[in-house]
Amino acid sequence: MADSEKIYGSAAGFIQFDIDEREYNDGIIRDATIRSLASGDLLRISFFPDFEDIPLERGDFIAVDGSIVERTVEFEDEDTGEVVERTFVNFTAKRLFVGETFAVAAPKVEKKKAASGGSKRKTF
Protein backbone atom coordinates (compact mmCIF):
# COMPACT_ATOMS: atom_id res chain seq x y z
CA MET A 1 0.00 0.00 0.00
CA ALA A 2 1.13 3.55 -0.63
CA ASP A 3 0.31 6.78 1.14
CA SER A 4 1.51 10.26 0.36
CA GLU A 5 1.67 13.68 1.98
CA LYS A 6 2.39 16.89 0.06
CA ILE A 7 4.67 19.41 1.76
CA TYR A 8 6.81 22.35 0.62
CA GLY A 9 10.49 22.95 1.10
CA SER A 10 13.92 23.65 -0.32
CA ALA A 11 16.86 21.43 -1.13
CA ALA A 12 20.36 21.83 -2.51
CA GLY A 13 22.99 19.43 -3.77
CA PHE A 14 25.00 18.15 -6.71
CA ILE A 15 23.25 16.30 -9.54
CA GLN A 16 24.41 12.71 -9.10
CA PHE A 17 23.41 11.03 -12.37
CA ASP A 18 22.55 11.85 -15.98
CA ILE A 19 19.26 13.70 -16.43
CA ASP A 20 16.23 11.54 -17.30
CA GLU A 21 13.58 12.86 -19.66
CA ARG A 22 9.96 11.81 -20.06
CA GLU A 23 7.11 13.05 -22.21
CA TYR A 24 4.36 15.18 -20.73
CA ASN A 25 1.23 16.77 -22.27
CA ASP A 26 2.91 20.13 -22.81
CA GLY A 27 6.46 18.98 -23.45
CA ILE A 28 9.27 17.18 -21.67
CA ILE A 29 9.74 16.73 -17.93
CA ARG A 30 13.35 16.35 -16.83
CA ASP A 31 14.22 14.45 -13.66
CA ALA A 32 17.47 14.88 -11.75
CA THR A 33 18.69 13.17 -8.61
CA ILE A 34 20.68 15.17 -6.07
CA ARG A 35 22.32 14.21 -2.79
CA SER A 36 20.88 16.64 -0.26
CA LEU A 37 23.48 18.75 1.56
CA ALA A 38 21.30 18.74 4.68
CA SER A 39 20.45 15.05 5.04
CA GLY A 40 22.72 13.20 2.63
CA ASP A 41 19.62 11.52 1.16
CA LEU A 42 19.06 11.14 -2.56
CA LEU A 43 16.19 13.33 -3.76
CA ARG A 44 14.53 13.13 -7.16
CA ILE A 45 13.71 16.56 -8.59
CA SER A 46 11.23 17.02 -11.46
CA PHE A 47 11.54 20.01 -13.78
CA PHE A 48 8.45 20.79 -15.83
CA PRO A 49 8.65 22.46 -19.27
CA ASP A 50 8.86 25.92 -17.61
CA PHE A 51 12.56 25.12 -17.00
CA GLU A 52 13.34 23.66 -20.45
CA ASP A 53 15.65 26.54 -21.41
CA ILE A 54 17.89 26.03 -18.38
CA PRO A 55 20.73 23.57 -19.07
CA LEU A 56 21.21 20.90 -16.42
CA GLU A 57 23.74 18.09 -16.32
CA ARG A 58 25.39 15.61 -14.01
CA GLY A 59 27.73 17.36 -11.56
CA ASP A 60 25.87 20.70 -11.53
CA PHE A 61 25.13 22.24 -8.15
CA ILE A 62 21.47 23.22 -7.85
CA ALA A 63 19.15 24.64 -5.21
CA VAL A 64 15.40 24.20 -5.62
CA ASP A 65 12.25 25.33 -3.89
CA GLY A 66 8.95 23.60 -4.46
CA SER A 67 6.50 20.89 -3.49
CA ILE A 68 7.57 17.57 -2.05
CA VAL A 69 5.64 14.33 -2.12
CA GLU A 70 6.84 11.54 0.15
CA ARG A 71 5.47 8.13 -0.76
CA THR A 72 5.86 5.19 1.55
CA VAL A 73 5.55 1.90 -0.28
CA GLU A 74 5.40 -1.60 1.18
CA PHE A 75 6.94 -4.43 -0.80
CA GLU A 76 8.10 -7.98 -0.22
CA ASP A 77 11.86 -8.47 0.03
CA GLU A 78 12.86 -11.05 -2.57
CA ASP A 79 15.57 -12.59 -0.37
CA THR A 80 13.83 -12.75 3.00
CA GLY A 81 10.14 -12.66 2.08
CA GLU A 82 9.60 -9.96 4.73
CA VAL A 83 7.39 -6.96 4.07
CA VAL A 84 9.58 -3.87 3.91
CA GLU A 85 8.64 -0.19 3.83
CA ARG A 86 10.57 2.29 1.70
CA THR A 87 9.99 6.03 1.45
CA PHE A 88 10.55 7.81 -1.87
CA VAL A 89 10.95 11.59 -1.99
CA ASN A 90 9.81 13.33 -5.18
CA PHE A 91 10.40 17.07 -5.44
CA THR A 92 8.72 19.31 -8.05
CA ALA A 93 10.79 22.44 -8.63
CA LYS A 94 9.00 25.79 -8.57
CA ARG A 95 12.18 27.89 -8.29
CA LEU A 96 15.67 26.84 -9.40
CA PHE A 97 19.23 28.07 -8.89
CA VAL A 98 22.04 26.50 -10.91
CA GLY A 99 25.54 27.21 -9.60
CA GLU A 100 27.76 28.73 -12.26
CA THR A 101 31.24 28.31 -10.81
CA PHE A 102 32.58 24.97 -9.68
CA ALA A 103 36.14 23.85 -9.15
CA VAL A 104 37.83 20.79 -7.72
CA ALA A 105 40.98 21.58 -5.81
CA ALA A 106 43.93 19.22 -6.17
CA PRO A 107 45.60 18.30 -2.88
CA LYS A 108 48.80 20.18 -2.14
CA VAL A 109 51.75 17.81 -1.90
CA GLU A 110 54.64 18.68 0.34
CA LYS A 111 57.88 16.73 0.35
CA LYS A 112 59.69 16.33 3.63
CA LYS A 113 63.28 15.23 4.07
CA ALA A 114 63.79 12.05 6.01
CA ALA A 115 65.82 12.62 9.18
CA SER A 116 68.19 9.69 8.75
CA GLY A 117 68.56 9.22 5.00
CA GLY A 118 65.41 7.06 4.75
CA SER A 119 62.81 7.33 2.02
CA LYS A 120 60.93 10.52 1.27
CA ARG A 121 57.33 10.95 2.43
CA LYS A 122 54.46 12.85 0.92
CA THR A 123 52.17 14.69 3.31
CA PHE A 124 48.67 15.68 2.30
| 99 CB burial (10 A radius; 0-12, 13-18, 19+) | exposed
CA-CA distance, 107 to 86, in Å (whole number)?
Answer: 39
Q: What is the residue extent of each domain of the chain? A: 2-123
User: How far is residue 47 from each of residues 63, 67, 80, measured CA to CA in Å?
Assistant: 12, 11, 37
Per-residue confidence (pLDDT) for residue 121, from 0 to 100: 47
Domain at 2-123: CATH code: 2.40.50.140
* Phi and psi angles of residue 27, each rounded to the nearest 5 degrees, phi first: 145, -145
pLDDT along the chain (124 residues), means of 10: 70 96 91 92 92 93 92 89 88 91 67 58 42
**Residue 64 identity:** V
Q: Enter the pTM of the model.
A: 0.69
